Amino acid sequence: MGRIKLEEIDTRAPGALQKEQVKLETAGIISELNELQNLLYAESKHSVLVVLQGMDASGKDGLIRKVFGNLNPQGVMVHSFKVPTAEELGHDFLWRIHKNAPAKGMIQLFNRSHYEDILVTRVHNLCDKETAYKRMRAINDFEWLLAEHNNTTILKFYLHISEKEQSLRLNERLDDKTKQWKYNESDFAEAKLWPEYRKVYEDCFEECNKIPWTIVPADQNWYKEYIVAKKLKDALSALKMRYPGLKKA
């Protein structure tokens, strides 16, 4: 596979798709997810890590609410990674990530992730290219550790929105009282760095592909939710899980 070029990938659903029909299908998938997650928890042999990355306003929070909001919260954990604390900075960049890796039986969502350490940091020159490439190798090894030694299925999603859609959404944050809390002064400045972000994301898709990425067209929420829910359902179904039955005395 050649290098992923984000500019060549559509941010919208294929034209032939009917929004209402897809939404119905997504609802069906989500109720199946409920059953599969219960099984995952009961069997406790596998774990699932869902990594969500994307530009500001690409709809990570909404996705979490819509696709994961109806699952049993006992088996689903969400961790939002912010700027590292002083304690976290005292350790290697994967230390805080590993602490939050899913136990068997659990689905763990990362709202942003270890990938920020090679994305935002690179764009703002807090991490040189050599360090970034060393980190990407470490990320491959680390994800492999989880997959190989804790039966962790890792699903990595890049929510792919267009600059135009992002601009619309950022302006909405300014106007809508229920969304103003999400607005950061830096949002518009960050949005200007789009070409730089595109480049470092593309490097990351290329280097950290031992466990592959899914690029999710994300301008329309209904399509984004469908793709992620479907991918999760397929991954869980592939585990061929079974209820363990009565424990032996």
Contact positions vs its own copies (CB under 8 A): 44, 87, 90-95, 98-99, 101, 103-106, 134-135, 138, 141-142, 144-146, 148-150, 152
Pairing of strands 107-111, 47-54: parallel
Helix/strand/coil for 19: helix
Smaller CB distance to its own copies: residue 104 or 112?
A: 104
Structure tokens belonging to residue 175 = 């106007």
| Shortest Å distance, C-beta 100 to its own copies | 10
CA distance 146 to 139: 11
| Shortest Å distance, C-beta 83 to its own copies | 18
| Shortest Å distance, C-beta 96 to its own copies | 10
| Shortest Å distance, C-beta 103 to its own copies | 3
Smaller CB distance to its own copies: residue 117 or 203?
A: 117
Smaller CB distance to its own copies: residue 44 or 111?
A: 44
Smaller CB distance to its own copies: residue 7 or 87?
A: 87
CA 244 to chain centre: 30
Smaller CB distance to its own copies: residue 29 or 106?
A: 106
The long-range contacts involving 141-144, CB below 8 angstroms and separated by at least 24 positions, are 142/94, 142/97, 142/98, 142/114, 143/208, 143/210, 143/211, 144/210, 144/211
Closest Cα to residue 133, out of 202, 195, 207?
207
| Shortest Å distance, C-beta 16 to its own copies | 43
